[in-house]
Amino acid sequence: MTDAGTFKVSYMPDAGDFAEGRLAWDVLHKTSNHSNSTLTCIDLFDVVHLKPYALASLYSLGLCAKQPINLIPPRDKDCHEHLVRIGFCNLEMDQNELPVRDTNIRIRQLETEPGAFSADVFELWSRELGGMPPGIASSLADHLDEVILNAIQHADSTIGCVVVGQAFPTTGKVEIAVLDLGITIPGHLRQRPEYNHLCSDADAIIKATEEGVTGASGITNSGVGLYELKSYCRQGHGEMAILSGSSIVVFGQAEHPIIHAFRGNFQGTLVNLRFSTRPTLTRRPGDAIVSW
Partner 1 sequence: MRDIVIKAEILNAPSAGLELAAAVSQSISRGDPVRLDFARYDRATPSFANAFMMTLLHQFDRELLRSNVRIDNACPAIVEALNASISRYDRGIRLSIQRTPAAG
Which residues contact partner 1 by CB under 8 A?
Answer: 113-116, 118-119, 135, 138-139, 141-142, 145-146, 149, 192-194, 211-212, 214, 216-225, 228, 283-284, 287-292
Question: How crowded is residue 152: how many other Cβ atoms within 10 Å of its Cβ?
Answer: 20
- Cβ 143 to partner 1 shortest distance, Å: 9
Nearer to partner 1, 4 or 290 (CB): 290
Least Cβ distance, residue 174 to partner 1 (angstroms): 17
Nearer to partner 1, 133 or 264 (CB): 133
Amino acid identity, position 184: T
Residue 232: CB minimum distance to partner 1, A: 11
Residue among 4 and 288 whose Cβ is closer to partner 1: 288
- Choose between 102 and 194: whose C-beta lies nearer to partner 1: 194
Nearer to partner 1, 222 or 253 (CB): 222
- Helices (H) then strands (E): counts for the chain: 8, 8
- Whether the Cβ atoms of residue 213 and residue 207 lie closer than 8 Å to each other: yes
Amino acid (1-letter code) at residue 134: P
How many Cβ atoms sit within 10 Å of the Cβ of residue 255? 6
In the bound complex, what is the minimum distance in angstroms from residue 287's beta carbon to partner 1? 5
Q: How far is the CB of 115 from partner 1 (least distance, A)?
A: 6
CB-based burial label for 263 (10 Å; 0-12, 13-18, 19+): exposed
User: In sequence order, which residues have a C-beta less than 8 Å from that of residue 61 and are 6 or more positions away?
Assistant: 7, 30, 31, 34, 37, 39, 42, 69
**Which C-beta is closer to partner 1: that of 173 or that of 190?**
190
In angstroms, the CA 125 to CA 146 distance is 19
Cα gap 47→41, rounded to integer Å: 15
Find the shortest distance in angstroms from Cβ 204 to partner 1. Answer: 16
Give the nearer residue to partner 1 in terms of CB position, either 66 or 284. 284
Q: Which is nearer to partner 1, 80 or 108 (CB)?
A: 108
CB of 218: closest distance to partner 1 in angstroms?
7
Contacts with 154 (C-beta within 8 Å, 6 or more apart), sequence order: 182, 188, 214, 215, 216, 219, 221
Cα dist. 191→150, 204, 208, 286 in Å?
Answer: 15, 12, 13, 39
At residue 267's C-alpha, the angle toward residues 118 and 143, to 5°, is 20
Q: How far is the CB of 112 from partner 1 (least distance, A)?
A: 9
All residues at 6 or more sequence positions from 58 whose CB lies less than 8 Å from its CB, including other chains: 9, 27, 31, 42, 50, 88
